[in-house]
Amino acid sequence: MTAVCQRIFLLALVAFLLPLSAIAQSSPAYVRQALPEATLVGQGMFRWFSLSIYKARLWGDKTKVTATGWAGSPFALELEYTRTLYGEKIAIASIDEIKKLGIGTNAQHDQWLVDMKKIFPNVEEGHQLTGIFTPGQPSRFFFNGKPVGDVADPEFGPAFFGIWLHPKTSAPKLRQLLLNTK
């Protein structure tokens, strides 16, 4: 193949692959409906010891969702599970992590746990659970793209999403990947 033919081939390949990469970075339709300008901010895998639990993706406005100001901007956090987990266990683990962050009162923890147990379904490999955060508004949750419920308390959102995004998270490497602050 001549040098000119190689260049033409490479340009055609790039022209073909660029739209595919744009599609790969496009947020799910239900996220776009709530956050029309959302793009992929960052993503990473959460592992417990060596077990893969879920892949996390943070969707939002990259210029607004930053390491220091994430709670001031709307975003969506999508978790794609790699194993079976019970919804009740997800809710309990979430409250445990919120308590470790020192956010909320005992009464709020109790209510948030009740709310999450009602919302969070059992998950299997490939299932997606997505939360949409808008400052000062109820947190909305979707299971495989379908709405499953809201938590009305506006203080819940920063507490819950702090599990992944708060500077004191128990998963700092995942936080860096989600916020794209390597």
Burial group, residue 48, by CB count within 10 angstroms (0-12, 13-18, 19+): exposed
pLDDT at 64: 82
Residue 19 located in a structural domain: no
Phi, psi of 179, rounded to the nearest 5 degrees: -85, -5
Residue, of 1 and 108, whose pLDDT is higher: 108
Residue 168 located in a structural domain: yes
Which of 28, 92, 34, 67 is CA-nearest to residue 164?
67
Who contacts 32 (Cβ-Cβ below 8 Å, separation ≥6)? Answer: 26, 38
Chain mean pLDDT for the chain: 87
Residue 12 located in a structural domain: no
Residue 22 located in a structural domain: no
The CATH number of residue 171's host domain is 3.50.70.10
CB 76 within 8 A of CB 38: yes
d(CA 131, CA 61): 16
Q: Count of domains in the chain?
A: 1
d(CA 149, CA 132): 11
pLDDT at 68: 55
CB 67 within 8 A of CB 179: yes
Residue 63 lies in domain: 27-179
pLDDT at 11: 38
Residue 124 located in a structural domain: yes
pLDDT band at 20 (very low <50, low <70, confident <90, very high): very low
H-run or E-run covering 129 = strand 128-133
Residue 2 located in a structural domain: no
The dihedral region occupied by 15, where left means phi > 0, alpha psi between -120 and 50, and beta the remainder, is alpha
**Where do the H-state alpha helices sit in 25-105?**
29-34, 87-101
The dihedral region occupied by 168, where left means phi > 0, alpha psi between -120 and 50, and beta the remainder, is alpha
DSSP code of 69? T
